[in-house]
Structure 1
Amino acid sequence: MARMTPEKILQTIAKVAVKEKTAVYAVGGFVRDRVMERPCKDIDMVVDGSGVAFAKKIIEPLKAEHEVFFEDFDTARMQVEEYTIEFAGARKESYEKHSRKPKVERVENIAEDLARRDFTINAIAMHIDKEHFGEYLDPFDGQSDIERKIIRTPMEPSATFSDDPLRMMRAVRFAAQLGFGIDGVTLRGIKEEVERISIVSWERIRDELLKMLAVTKPSEALNTLFTTGLLAYIVPEVAVLHGVEFVGGQHHKDQLAHSIKVTDQMAAMTENVSLRLAAFLHDVGKAPTKRLKEGRGWTFDGHEVVGARMITEVGRRLRLDTDTVKYIRKLVRWHLRPQVITAEGVTDSAVRRIIVNMGDWLDDLILLYRADITTQNPKKLAQREKDFDVLMRRIEEVRERDRLRAFQSPVRGEEIMQLCNLTPGKEVGKIKGAIEEAILEGVIPNDYEAAKRYLLEHKVEWLT
């Protein structure tokens, strides 16, 4: 059976539209990407009439699956092979001044629907009827803006952003995703309306932020978030890192610029968005720990500990799941540890401890350590890169030799109780800890016979 294509899907929809005497158009990102000759698996349709009612009539002709109806918003979504299709009645959405729920109103025709869309590049409709198939309805010159690579609102920015304040973040994200610039009037509108972002749900804000971090070069979005004032509302803990303070000839680097550069360098190494977010947040504790100390200059002592605590609040605000918060918090807490190890000398004991402490997240911590190298001093850069290579080599050597990824005492608690005539309690954990410490320090190898021998040799000492 021949697979579906966007053209086949649209032609099938068009046949049903003729039968139902209903005008239906392709709109939004699908049309934008078609103009830009980019593939798109999400197909948005607007119906001059009820989106839900029309969608119910198209399920069988399209052989659609997983259909979902949102009656309150007059929208429906369904799956046709790898394509997600959404139908909506021609409408406009707007938010009351202090409400986080949109007010949906039906409009008379497609022209009104397009006028209430976010940007001109997304306010292009495509005819799907047989006679005019592929022709565009472009009342706001979106095709020209695509050619000029400009993000611009179809109406006055204040009206567009008032309808949905999240569009301010979407402007930033689209610019970064598509390599476009933001029109000057639109950019000024974001700065003027920035406080409106406070009525948007944190789940929607989080999703936009993560999409920005997923682009090839996140700095394109993150810098604009800061200059427009949006970052101060979303992650104020990072926004306050901006600036260089001079006192008595002493100054420190701009920690916001550093954090953004680390995020870009991380993006070049991994597509893991949670790890990119950890890179963006890794120095979040520097603002509250900044001190000017005589003989040392500017210091940020303990910023990794303070920052790890702050991640809990940032994660709660952004509605991150518990596992992601735990992951980022641990990376922030220990992000300096690889640097400390290389500075103190890469001993087997130190390497074993970081392997055990980080577990499956060690490779991500090492990536963060590498991304955190932003010095412009050629001599310092060469030394940091050399330190990185030495640490990586030693980690692999110790891993291979000690098999420490899932480290725990080779002698289990039940056997300790039997050999030492103990019942469950603190003494068992204490003995296990002593065996593990001996392995970490290299006193004994990480194998069962050596650990059991060590237990028998020291049990009297430990129990008295």
Structure 2
Amino acid sequence: MISIESISQALIQAGGKPVLVGGSVRDRLLGTLSKDFDLEVYQLSIDAVEQALKPLGALHAVGKSFGVLKLRNFDISLPRTENKTGQGHKGFIVQTDSELSFEQAASRRDFSINAMGIDLITGELLDPFGGQADLKQGILRHVSDAFDEDPLRVLRACQFTARFNLQIHAETLIKCRNLNAELSSLPRERIGEEFKKLLSAAKPSLGLQALRETGALCLFPELAALIDCPQDPQWHPEGDVWIHTLMVIDEACKLSDSLTIRLAALCHDLGKPETTRMEDGRWRSKNHESAGALPTRQFLTRLALSEDLIREVIPLVQEHLKPCQLYRVRDQVSSAAIRRLATRVNIENLCLVAKADFLGRTTEDAKLGIDPSSEWLLEQAQTLAVHQKGPEPILLGRHLLEIGFQAGPTLGRVLKKAYEAQLDGAFSTLDEALTWYKNSKESLSK
């Protein structure tokens, strides 16, 4: 079995000095488990490292030209220096040097909490920039002026703030703000990866606030528009849409670790800046849920997210008021209405988003954690077995062809009417569906 011990032993026998570096060191100090590990190897060439590790398994040269090999979930690299040659995230010349000191190699890293190492020969913690103390004090501090060379580090600062409940050091905050002009040079894919890490935190609101403090919120105008967008204090005593959204995303994270749920919670009120008006002395945002579809798509596209994911999120935004609306008239809500809703959106997910929306405010009911509407709708949908998706059509084209129906445009129209009838509860089995068709054949042909 490949382990840190087996890898380090092979490297030591070859004359190398392996050091565990990066996030796995930070995670050890926090008492959390790491899935991936980074090792830096001193006093060996990349070819010597490759020869030493070959007996352990297949090596992948993910970046052999700048001294990086991959063995399962271990990245093994040589110490290196990086020199800025142009603008943006990629304008660097990388040079490996196995004779560098650990401090020299670590000086290229972004934050002190990521610039620690564990000497795998002695077990000593190597911490030339005070990362352990910063971690204990909850401070996110840059390592050196090399921080200024990579604008991606601004987004990394924001996601680390959220994931580890850190406060950005005042000098680091200034450096982040000074990099704002270069943020637009970042690839959408890299922006999306950092944002997903931010949303993986227990309290993404901390990272979103950091985006605002650093100025990086300029990358996301759909979110920035929520700031100072007013709300009716009767329903939202907590403040503007930005404050409400921060509360909602944190509530969503208590309910689910699904990226779909978290994105929908974040985007649920993106339609409010466009629709909010003062009417009869009160702030109203009529149809903001449907108006939210466009800014949600624009925002998620900025993150280079998949079309499948975007199509999951948008209906949750468009329908997020539905649990509350249906609950108010629950005595009049038919099974057909719930079945139809299930054809548009995953009701189970919708109830989670709606619950987060309800709890993400400072009303008395929210403080008590009381949200009967989402629980009621979910129970109704579960009873009808449509809580995760709409009912599958019972009557299919092949069934009609088997009884002599001719293929053509009329077939599609009949099947559409049959599905509508199924949603209305006209039939629930194939035999019933065929009987319905025979009884309705004359009217369907019109």
Q: TM-score range by the shorter chain?
A: 0.7 to 0.9
* Structure with more contact order per residue of length (Cα contacts < 8 Å, sep ≥ 6): 2
Partner residue of 2:260? 274
Question: The residue matched to 1:376 in structure 2 has which SS?
Answer: coil
CA contact (8 A) 1:250 1:298 kept: no
Counterpart among 351, 357, 364 of residue 372 in structure 1: 357
Matched, 1:407 2:391: yes
The residue that corresponds to 1:193 in the other structure is: 179
2:438 paired with 1:456: yes
Q: Alignment partner for residue 395 of structure 1, among 381, 395, 400? A: 381
> Per-residue deviation at 1:267?
0.7
1:75 shift after superposition: 1.6
Is the contact between residue 49 and residue 89 of structure 1 (CA under 8 Å) also seen in structure 2?
Answer: no
Corresponding position of 1:258: 244
C-alpha change, 1:347 and 1:179, in structure 2 (3 Å) is same
State whether residues 231 and 284 of structure 2, in contact with CA within 8 Å, keep that contact through their aligned partners in structure 1: no
Task: Establish whether residue 174 from structure 1 lines up as the match of residue 160 from structure 2.
Answer: yes
1:12 to 10, 13, 16: 10
Matched, 1:28 2:28: no
Deviations 1:329-371 (A, max 9, x none): 222222222232223333222111112332xx32111211111
- For residues 44 and 272 of structure 2, what CA distance do their matches in structure 1 show? 54
Matches within 5 A, 1:299-338: 299-338=284-323
Cα distance between partner residues in 2 of 1:440 and 1:32: 54
How much has 1:396 moved relative to structure 2? Answer: 2.0
Seen in structure 2, the aligned counterparts of structure 1 residues 54 and 38 have a Cα distance that, compared at 3 Å, is: farther
- Does structure 1 conserve the Cα–Cα contact (< 8 Å) formed by 2:277 and 2:284? yes
The equivalent of 2:64 in structure 1 is 71
Distance 2:379 2:33 in 1: 42
TM-superposition CA deviations, 1:163-208 (whole Å, max 9, x none):
2211122222223222332222212322232332222222111111
Match of 1:94 in 2: 84
Please tell me the root mean square deviation across aligned C-alpha atoms, in Å: 3.0
Q: CA deviation at 1:222?
A: 1.6
Separation in structure 2 between the aligned mates of residue 284 and residue 51 of structure 1, nearest angstrom: 53
The aligned residue for residue 445 of structure 1 is 427
Relative to structure 1, the CA distance from residue 56 to residue 4 in structure 2 (aligned partners, 3 Å threshold; closer, same or farther) is: closer
Distance (whole Å) between structure 2 residues aligned to residue 328 and residue 385 of structure 1: 22
User: Structure 1 residues 438 and 51, CA, compared in 2 at 3 Å: closer, same or farther?
Assistant: farther
How far the C-alpha of 1:264 sits from its partner, in A, is 0.9
CA spacing shift, 1:292–1:321, aligned 2, 3 Å: same
SS in 2 for 1:65: coil
- CA distance in 2 between partners of 1:77 and 1:87 (Å): 9
Q: Is the 8 A contact 1:96 1:103 kept in 2?
A: no
Partner of 1:356: 343
For the residues of structure 1 that align with 2:44 and 2:290, how far apart are their CA atoms?
A: 55
Task: Tell whether the 8 Å contact from 1:216 to 1:268 is kept in structure 2 after alignment.
Answer: yes
- Structure 1: any 5+ residue segments left out of the alignment? none
Percent of pairs identical after alignment? Answer: 26
Q: Distance in 1 between matches of 2:152 and 2:357?
A: 31
Scaled by the length of structure 2, the TM-score of the pair is 0.88
Match for residue 111 of structure 2? 119
Do the aligned partners of 2:89 and 2:151 also contact (CA within 8 Å) in 1?
Answer: no
CA deviations 1:72-101 (Å, max 9, x no partner) are: 43322112xxx4232134222536225644
> TM-score with structure 1 length normalisation?
0.85
Partner of 1:339: 324
Runs of 4+ that moved beyond 6 A: 249-252, 380-384
1:190/1:380 CA distance change after superposition, 3 Å: closer
Secondary structure in 2 matching 1:313: helix
Q: CA deviation at 1:211?
A: 0.7
Q: Map of 1:420-435 to 2, 5 A cutoff?
A: 422-435=405-418
Judging changes above 3 Å, is the alpha-carbon distance between structure 1 residues 188 and 433 closer, same or farther for their aligned structure 2 residues?
A: same
